[in-house]
Structure 1
Amino acid sequence: MSWIYLDNNATTKIDPKVLDAMLPFLKESYGNASSMQHRIGREASQAVALARQQIAQKFDVKDSEILFNSGATEGINTVLRGIANAYAQKGKHMITCQTEHKAVLSTCAQLERSGIEITYLPVNQNGELDLQLLLDSIRPDTILVCIMAANNESGVMHPISTIANICQEKDVLFFCDATQWVGKQELNLKQIPIDILTFSAHKFHGPKGVGGLYIRRKRKPIQIPSLISGGQQENGLRGGTLNVPNIVGCGKALEIVDFHPQIQQYRDYLEEQIKLKIPQIIIHSEQAKRLDNTTFVAFRHIKATEIMTALPHVALASGSACTSGLLDPSHVLKAMGVSNDEAFASMRFSLSKFTTKAEVEQTVNDLAETVQRLRSASPIWQLYTAGLIN
C-alpha cells in the first residue's frame, strides 16, 4: 500500500529545486559567510545576500528588513521576550489570542510570571476574532499585539490587514506569526503595515531549522534585544555562524512559491467525499475563511488516535505537531467551544502542491472503511445508534 502524506501543516517535502540550490554549499562552497578574507567565504556571504534579496522581493520589503534565524519558535521567543524587555518603560501589557501556537502561549505564560500582563482574546465557534474586542482591549500601556495570520490546526485566517491598521492607528506594535500563511497566501508587506513577522522555511517546501524575522524599518527603530549573544551576525540580533545551506534553501523555496488552485479543489473534494461516505462528522471552522489546504474534521464517537493507528500508511495529525505528545485535547478546539469528546475525535488533513487527487480518493476510501469498522466494534457507537446518547 502506497504512502500518503497529508500532514503538510506540520512540515512539507523539500522541493527538488531547493535541494539542488543547497547542495553546492554543503559540498564545494562550504565557507563561513563571515570569513570575507577568502573566496569560499565570500561565496557563502554572497549566497546569504541573494537569499535575503529573494525573500525581500517576495514580501516587497527592503533586504535589510529580513533577518535569518532557526525558525518561527526562535523568532517568537526573540520578539516577545525582547519587546517585553525593551519597552518596559512604556508599559507591561500585551495582547494575543487563545488559539495562538504553543510557542506564543508558553512564552506569554513565562512573561506573565515576570510581571507582564497578557490579554488573551477569545474566538467564536468558527475560530474567528472579534475585532471590536481587540480594539477595546488596547490600552495606553499596551506595547504589543501578537496575532497569528492563519491557525495551524483549523486553518482559520485572521484579517491581518485590518489588525495591522488597528495597531497602526493606536500606535501599538503588531507582531504576526505568519508561519502557516507564508507560501500559501500572497503577502505584500508594503501594503499591510505589519511591524514584525516570523516564518519558517519547512512550511513552504524548504529545509527544516531555518526561517526568519521581518522587522519593519521605522522612523523610530523597533527595539528588539538579541536572544542569542555572540558575534554581530544579523545586525547584532542573532549571534552565531550563519547556516548558509539552509538559508540558501529558504530563499530559493520562497522565490519559487506558486499558488496551485488544485490544492483547494482537492481539499474541497476531500470534504465532500467525507460528508458523503461517513456519517456523523463535523468540519471545524467550515464557515470561516480558511487556508486552501487545511481541513480539521471530527469523526464523532471515535478517537482520532484509533483511526490514525488503523491507517499507518496515511500521515495525518490530531492537532499541532508541537503538542502531539500531550494527552490534553486541542487548545484551539477548546477555545472554539468544542467538547472534549469531539476534540479527541478530530483529525487535521493538510495538503500541498505534491498531493494528488488519487491520494485524496484513496484516503477517503480507506478512511470510510476504517471508521465503519472501528465504530461497529464500539459500545459508544452502539449506544448512539440505539438513541441512548447524542
Structure 2
Amino acid sequence: MIYLDYQATTPLAPEAREAMLRWLGGPESDTFGNPHSPHRMGRMAAAAIEAAREQVAALFPPDGRVIFTSGATEAINLAIKGTARGDGTNTIAVSAIEHAAVLDCGHAMRETTEMLVLPVDPHGLVAEDTVIPEGTQLTAVMQVNNEIGTIQPVEELAEAAHAAGGWFLCDAVQGAGKLAPPAHADMIAVSAHKLHGPKGIGALWVRDGVDIAPQTHGGGQEQGLRSGTLSPALIAGFGAAARLALAQGQEDAAHVEALWHRARELFDGWELNGSAEHRWHGNLNLRKDGLDVARLMSECRSVMFSAGSACASGSGRPSHVLRAIGLTDAQAKSSIRLGFGRYTTAQEIEAAAAAILAAAKEQGL
C-alpha cells in the first residue's frame, strides 16, 4: 500500500517508538510507575516526562509553558473555554476554514459567546490587514490549513488580535516541526501524531502571563489545568518526535519540496485548490471537475489518500474549507487531497499518480 494521507496522521518515527518502549514496562520492570507518585518509580516516570517536556517546548517560542493534553482538540477546547469571560460577554473571531475543533467549540458556547467568522479569499487566505473588532476576547486562526495546506499570515493576525485587546490562539497542528512557530501567538495547539509521534497525546503552549481556567477537574495534575494521570510512554514518544523534527527539519523540507514538484508534473492539468505560493508543499489538494471521487477511491484501494478532512469523512457534506474558497458543491466533491512527507518516496508518488490518473481516465477525464 502507498500512504499519501499525511494530514490525517503520520507514520510513527522509529526513534519515537523506541523512546516509548521503555515506559511500557511490565511487572518485572521499574518503568511502569505513576508519574504523580512520590516514590522512586514515580519520580523516574516524572523525570522522563519533564525531559520530554523540554523537547516539546523547543517547538515553541521560549517565553511560555507546555501543557500536555490528549491531543490538539483538547488543547483547543482548553484554550477557548479556559480564556472565556465568566460574565458571558465573550466574542471570539475565527477563520472560515478552521478545524472543527475550533468551529464546533465556538458553536457549543453560543449561549455565552458570539463567534465572528473571518472570510478567506479564493486562495484560502485570511487578509493580512484584517481588523479584529475592539473587545474581541480571542482570535483563533490556524497556521497551516489541514485540507488545502495554505499558510496563514498568523503574525499579522496576532497583532490585530492584540490591538483589539484580546488573545491569539493558533492551531499549529499541521505546521509544528515544519515551520517556525507563530512568534506572536499567546496559545499554540499541537498534536504528536501529525509529526511522527504517537496518537493520544498533544500539547497547548501558553505564553507567560496568559491565565487559563481548568476545564477538567480532579487531582490537579498537569499544573492544575488538566487533571488525570499522564502517560510517560506517550509523552516520551512525543518528545522524541519533536526532537527529531527539529534535528532534520531542513532535510525533511527539501525532500517534501522535491516530491511536490514531481507530483505537480504528474498531475499536470488538474486544478490546485488553494494558494500555490503560501502553502505547505506536503499538501496537494487537487480537483478534476466531473470526477467521481468515491469511485476513484474504490478503484485505487492500494493508495491511501483523502477526499477531504479525515475528521469530517463520511458526513456526505461538501468540505466547508473548499466551499469557503468559492468552490461549488460539485467542485468540492470532485477534489482529492494527497499528503506526503518524511517517509514518502518518489517511486510511491509516481505509482500513486499512475493509479489515480488511470482510474480518472476510465471516467473519461
> 2:136·2:165 contact (CA, 8 Å) conserved in 1?
no
> 1:36·1:45 contact (CA, 8 Å) conserved in 2?
no
1:173 has 2:173 as partner:
no
1:157 has 2:155 as partner:
no
> 2:140·2:168 contact (CA, 8 Å) conserved in 1?
yes
Indicate the SS of the match to 1:50: helix
| Aligned counterpart, 1:103 | 101
Distance 1:172 1:71 in 2: 24
> 1:65·1:216 contact (CA, 8 Å) conserved in 2?
yes
What is the alpha-carbon root mean square deviation over aligned residues? 1.5
TM value normalised by structure 2 = 0.94
Matches within 5 A, 1:131-280: 131-132=128-129, 134-135=130-131, 137-139=132-134, 141-187=135-181, 192-218=183-209, 222-257=210-245, 258-259=248-249, 260=252, 261-275=254-268, 279=269
Tell me by how many angstroms 1:374 deviates: 2.3
Tell me by how many angstroms 1:148 deviates: 0.7
| Aligned counterpart, 2:331 | 342
| Aligned counterpart, 1:123 | 120
Distance 1:350 1:41 in 2: 40
Q: C-alpha deviations, 1:295-330, integer Å up to 9, x for none? A: 100121122121111100000001111101110000
Tell me by how many angstroms 1:165 deviates: 2.4
1:33 has 2:46 as partner:
no
1:360 has 2:349 as partner:
yes
| Aligned counterpart, 2:45 | 44
1:81 has 2:81 as partner:
yes
* Structure with more of its chain in helix, by fraction: 1
Amino acid in structure 2 at the alignment position of 1:107: C
Indicate the SS of the match to 2:170: strand
Amino acid in structure 1 at the alignment position of 2:42: G
Distance 2:235 2:321 in 1: 31
| Aligned counterpart, 2:298 | 309
| Aligned counterpart, 2:62 | 61
Distance 2:17 2:79 in 1: 30
Instruction: Write out the 4+ residue segments of structure 1 that deviate beyond 6 Å after TM superposition.
Output: none
> 1:126·1:288 contact (CA, 8 Å) conserved in 2?
no
Q: 1:11 aligns with which of 6, 9, 12?
A: 9
Distance 1:358 1:272 in 2: 14
Q: Which runs of 5+ in 1 are unaligned?
A: 376-380, 382-390
Indicate the SS of the match to 2:308: coil
Provide the aligned length of Structure 1 versus Structure 2.
356
Q: C-alpha deviations, 1:18-53, integer Å up to 9, x for none? A: 10011010023111100122x221110000000111
Tell me by how many angstroms 1:186 deviates: 2.4
Amino acid in structure 1 at the alignment position of 2:101: A
Q: C-alpha deviations, 1:214-254, integer Å up to 9, x for none? A: 01012xxx222112111121111000000110011111100
Distance 2:215 2:262 in 1: 44
Indicate the SS of the match to 1:256: helix
Distance 1:240 1:131 in 2: 40
> 2:197·2:237 contact (CA, 8 Å) conserved in 1?
yes
Q: C-alpha deviations, 1:110-165, integer Å up to 9, x for none? A: 111x1311110111111011233x31x322x3110011111000000001122222
Q: Which runs of 5+ in 2 are unaligned?
A: none
Distance 2:172 2:67 in 1: 15
TM value normalised by structure 1 = 0.88
Rg: which structure is higher? 1
Q: 1:21 aligns with which of 19, 22, 34?
A: 19
